[in-house]
Structures are given as structure tokens and as C-alpha cells.
């Protein structure tokens, strides 16, 4: 007899029992509905509280990793039944032990990262166990495509977990874990297809053309100094002339003072590269020496003492002369003439920073005016015109005379007339304005 006929016959023979069973079933269904609805609401509230302060990418990462972990667990279910021979409750209890270990290691790694800012050994365990699960799942695959899929699913879950960890680490510490040496940006810069700085295309092109002029000038000067043949000199000068024509045409070199200064600075650096061998930079780990008084002030103190005590001057005069080193002869290193009159008492130093700034600007303006007239003023001239102390004027002049224009005037005067840097003198007069630096001039 079919089941429906049995139920009908039982209801006809036992109407009271059937009513009790139906009422009990209805109560059970209502209770099950209420429990299930409360359970769904509770789970929804928990998920809502968990997700309300989390960004969407973290939620999607967890969802995708959970799906990938489920795929890996399904592969381990088949592996435990087909390969290991597990069946029934034993299979249900043991098939996903690797996935449970992966989740445990991931939770421990996240807690360790929040406390110590590093996943530690648990982060390595996540990747190791994930790879093991992927390999075991792929070993029971029935085709190559299924094997690739079984291998990919756990690795995708591990990758999503790793990216979630990296985002949280950056959010907590404010920095990334490492800086890769090989990135698309570095490759593009290395190949010359991208610019490392924020310069515009016109600035990059102008710098390249000015550098080409400076290198061509250095090459021609080196060939001339080496006594190269006329053919090589003619080729080098032709290359220099061509680079100069392009720089004037495309960079506005003839009318742009900034570009002119940049070109002169490059030429000055290239021409004096050999001077780097003679530099004596300070040793950073050398113990600090006690500051000594400047030589000018020592000499002035000795002169003042001699005027007050003639007997002491006769005794100390010889010692002072022996202590002062003799000046080294040089074309452009002597700031003042040997016969320049020393000031016995230096002017009082100005304590006001604003006043010092005013004096500095006045001295700079006077220097620029004299350089425009092709004169290199002495430190005494600067001190007399602006009211600066002589020692301060010497310091300023020692810095300013190394600038390309002043250096070119000093070199030109020495090369043409043999005049050393002994004060004010006229530079070489030329019919038209040309760019000169470090003794190089157009013939």
C-alpha cells in the first residue's frame, strides 16, 4: 500500500490521534520558524556589527578567501575518500584538518602582526600549509585542468590573505613592508622612457642639450691640450658648433640668463673635475677639535699688543713671523695683495641679524655691479663701500670669486696678462658678449 494510503487509512481509523499529531507538528514548525528567524537575525546583527567599520575590500577578501578555502576542502574530501580510504564519521572529522590548521595559523599571524607588526613564523606556516593542501588536492584530480584548478584555489586564498595583511599593516604602521628594487616605474626610468623627477618635457630637453654642449666643449679642450691632429680638432669643433646651434635654437640660450648660468656651471664642473683629487673633506668620525681664533684676528691682536708694549713686541715679533705660514703662490687663490694695509682694530660686529642681512645684500649688489663692469673688487673695496668688517668681506669674496663669471674673469686675466688675483684689475675687453668660463673663450 502506498504511504499516502497508509496515512489516509490511519487518519480515518484514528481521528483523535491524527489531530494531536497535526497540532504537535504545527507547534514544532512554528517553534522551528521562530528559532530559525532569531538565529538569522542574530547572525545578521553580528555580521553587520563586524562589517560596519571595515572597508569593502576587506569583506570581499574574506568572502573570496572563504570560497577558495571551500574549494580546497572539497578537494581534500575527495582525497581522503579515494586515496586514504576514509569513510563515514572518520572522513567527516579528518578531511579538513589542513584547512583548519591554515585558518588557525592565519589568525595567529594576524594577532602577531597587530602586536609586533610582523606575521612571524605563522605567516610562513600559512603559505606552507596552503601549498601542501593544493598539492594533495591536485594529486586526486581526474584531468590536467582539474589539477591546475585544485592547485590555484588554495594559492588564491593565501594571496588574498597576504594582501589583507599588507593593507592592515600599512594602516597600522603607515609604511609598507619592503621597497622592491624592480618595479615598473624603475624599469621605465632605467630605459629612459620615464622621468624620475617632476621636470617638464621642455626642461628635460633643455638640460640634455646644455649638457651636450658642455661635453662637446670638454672634448674639444681635451683634444687641444693633447695636441690632436687638425682633422680630429676640426671634427670636435664641428660637433661643438652643432650642439651650440641646437642649444641656442631650442633652449633660448642666447636670451635666458638662467640657462646661461646653468651652462657655465656645467662647464666649470667638467673642466675642474681633476681638482676633486686634491680635496680634503672632513672625517665624520674624527673627534672635534677646539675652535681656534681666525688668523686675521690673531695677527691684529699681536699688532695691538705690540703697540701697547714695545718690549713684548720685540720678543714676540720673531715668534709670530715664524708661526704664520707663508702664502702659497697661485693664479686665483690669493685674495689680497701682500702690500695691502691691515686694519689694526676691526669694526664692531653687528649683532642684529636684520642689519647683517642688509649689509650682505649691499655687498652682493656692489659685487654684481663690479662684475658687470668686468672688474673683480678686493675685500678692502667691499668693506669700504658697504661698511662690512674686513674679515667678513674676505669670507664673502672667497665664495663669490668661485662663481663662473668671476672665475672666468680671473682666469682670463691670468692667461692673457699673467696677472694674479691681487685686487681690482680690468678683464679682457671683447667686442661682443661671449660665454667664458675657466679660461675657455671663443676665438
CA–CA distance, 378 with 390 (Å, rounded to integer): 10
Q: Would you say residue 384 has pLDDT above 80?
A: yes
The 3 state secondary structure assigned to 283-321 is CCCCCCCCCCCCHHHHHHHHHHHHHHCHHHHHHHHHHHH
Specify which of 20-24, 79-83, 92-96 reaches the highest per-range mean pLDDT: 20-24
Give the integer Cα–Cα distance in Å for 33 and 38: 9
Cα distances from 359 to residues 366, 378, 385, 392, 400, in angstroms, run 11, 16, 10, 10, 15
A 10 A CB-CB count for 39 gives: 10
188 conformational bin, left if phi > 0, alpha if psi -120 to 50, beta if neither: alpha
pLDDT score of 403 more than 90: no
Q: Is residue 406 scored above 80 in pLDDT?
A: yes
State mean pLDDT over 107-124.
Answer: 83
Residue listed under C-alpha cell 688675483: 421
Amino acid 241: pLDDT: 92
Determine which helix (DSSP H) or strand (DSSP E) holds 99, and give its type and residue range: helix 97-116
Could you give the CA distance from residue 133 to residue 75 in angstroms, rounded to a whole number? 9
- Measured between alpha carbons, how far is 380 from 388 in angstroms, rounded to an integer? 9
Alpha-carbon distance of 61 to 55, in angstroms, equals 10
- pLDDT, one tens digit per residue, over 153-194 is 888 888 888 887 877 777 777 665 567 777 777 888 788 777
pLDDT on residue 352 = 66
Tell me which of 432 and 160 has the higher pLDDT: 160
Q: How far apart are CA 314 and CA 439, in angstroms?
A: 46
Q: Which three cell numbers stand for residue 1?
A: 500500500
For residue 103, is pLDDT > 50?
yes
pLDDT tens-digit map of 324-335: 444 444 444 444
Cell numbers that stand for 430 in this block = 671683447
The torsion defined by the Cα of 382, 385, 386 and 391, in degrees rounded to 10, comes to 40
Residues near 44 by beta carbon (within 8 Å), at least 6 away in sequence: none
**437, β-bridge pairs:** 440
DSSP code per residue over 125-189 = HHHHHHHHHHHHHHHT-SSHHHHHHHHHHHHHHHHHHHHHHHHHHHHHHSS-S---SS-HHHHHH
Taking residue 309's Cβ as centre, other Cβ atoms within 10 Å add up to 12
CA 8-13-17 angle, 5° bins: 90
10 SS3 class: helix
DSSP state of 274: G
The pLDDT score that the predictor gives to residue 149 is 86
Backbone φ/ψ region at 341: left (φ over 0), alpha (ψ -120 to 50), beta: beta
Identify which of 127, 123, 178 has the alpha carbon closest to the alpha carbon of residue 157: 127
Which has more pLDDT, 287 or 211? 211
pLDDT range class, residue 237, cuts 50, 70, 90: very high
The C-alpha cell at 110 is 594576524
Main-chain dihedrals φ then ψ at residue 239, nearest 5 degrees: -65, -40
Report long-range pairs for 115-118 (Cβ below 8 Å, ≥24 apart): 117/169, 117/172, 117/173
Q: Please provide the average confidence, as pLDDT, over all residues in the chain.
A: 75
What is the average pLDDT across 68-96? Answer: 79
CA 279, 285, 289, 294 torsion-angle sign: positive
**DSSP SS3 for 287:** coil
Q: What are phi and psi of 440, to 5 degrees?
A: -95, 130
pLDDT at 343: 43
Amino acid at each position: 500500500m502506498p504511504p499516502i494510503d497508509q496515512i489516509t487509512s490511519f487518519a480515518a481509523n484514528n481521528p483523535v490521534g491524527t489531530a494531536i499529531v497535526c497540532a504537535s507538528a504545527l507547534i514544532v514548525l512554528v517553534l522551528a520558524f521562530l528559532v530559525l528567524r532569531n538565529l538569522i537575525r542574530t547572525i545578521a546583527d553580528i555580521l553587520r556589527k563586524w562589517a560596519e567599520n571595515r572597508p569593502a575590500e576587506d569583506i570581499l577578501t574574506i568572502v573570496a578567501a572563504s570560497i577558495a578555502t571551500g574549494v580546497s576542502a572539497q578537494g581534500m574530501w575527495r582525497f581522503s575518500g579515494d586515496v586514504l580510504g576514509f569513510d563515514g564519521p572518520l572522513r567527516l572529522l579528518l578531511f579538513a584538518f589542513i584547512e583548519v590548521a591554515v585558518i588557525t595559523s592565519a589568525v595567529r599571524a594576524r594577532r602577531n602582526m597587530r602586536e609586533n607588526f610582523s606575521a612571524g613564523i605563522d605567516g610562513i606556516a600559512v603559505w606552507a600549509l596552503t601549498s601542501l593542501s593544493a598539492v594533495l588536492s591536485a594529486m586526486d584530480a581526474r584531468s590536467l585542468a582539474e589539477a591546475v584548478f585544485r592547485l590555484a584555489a588554495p594559492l588564491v586564498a593565501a594571496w588574498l590573505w597576504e594582501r589583507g595583511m599588507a593593507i592592515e599593516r600599512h594602516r597600522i604602521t603607515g609604511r609598507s613592508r619592503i621597497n622592491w628594487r624592480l618595479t615598473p616605474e624603475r624599469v621605465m626610468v632605467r630605459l629612459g622612457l620615464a622621468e624620475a623627477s617632476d621636470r617638464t618635457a621642455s626642461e628635460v630637453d633643455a638640460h640634455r642639450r646644455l649638457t651636450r654642449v658642455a661635453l662637446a666643449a670638454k672634448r674639444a679642450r681635451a683634444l687641444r691640450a693633447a695636441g690632436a691632429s687638425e682633422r680630429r680638432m676640426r671634427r670636435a669643433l664641428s660637433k661643438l658648433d652643432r650642439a651650440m646651434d641646437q642649444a641656442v635654437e631650442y633652449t633660448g640660450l642666447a636670451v635666458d640668463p638662467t640657462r646661461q648660468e646653468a651652462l657655465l656651471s656645467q662647464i666649470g664642473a667638467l673642466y675642474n673635475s681633476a681638482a676633486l683629487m686634491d680635496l680634503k673633506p672632513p672625517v665624520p668620525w674624527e673627534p672635534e677639535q677646539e675652535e681656534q681664533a681666525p688668523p686675521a684676528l690673531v695677527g691684529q691682536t699681536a699688532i695691538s699688543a705690540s703697540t701697547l708694549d714695545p718690549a713684548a713686541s720685540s720678543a714676540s715679533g720673531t715668534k709670530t713671523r715664524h708661526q704664520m705660514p707663508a702664502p702659497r703662490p697661485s693664479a686665483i687663490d690669493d685674495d689680497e695683495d701682500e702690500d695691502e694695509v691691515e686694519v689694526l682694530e676691526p669694526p664692531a660686529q653687528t649683532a642684529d641679524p636684520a642689519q647683517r642681512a642688509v649689509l650682505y645684500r649691499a655687498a652682493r649688489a656692489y659685487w654684481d655691479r663690479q662684475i658687470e663692469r668686468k672688474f673683480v673688487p678686493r675685500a678692502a673695496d667691499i668693506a669700504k663701500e658697504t661698511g662690512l668688517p674686513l674679515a667678513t668681506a674676505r669670507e664673502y669674496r672667497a665664495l663669490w670669486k668661485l662663481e663662473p663669471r668671476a672665475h672666468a674673469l680671473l682666469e682670463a686675466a691670468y692667461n692673457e696678462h699673467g696677472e694674479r688675483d691681487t685686487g681690482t684689475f680690468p678683464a679682457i675687453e671683447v667686442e661682443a658678449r661671449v660665454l667664458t668660463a675657466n679660461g675657455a673663450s671663443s676665438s
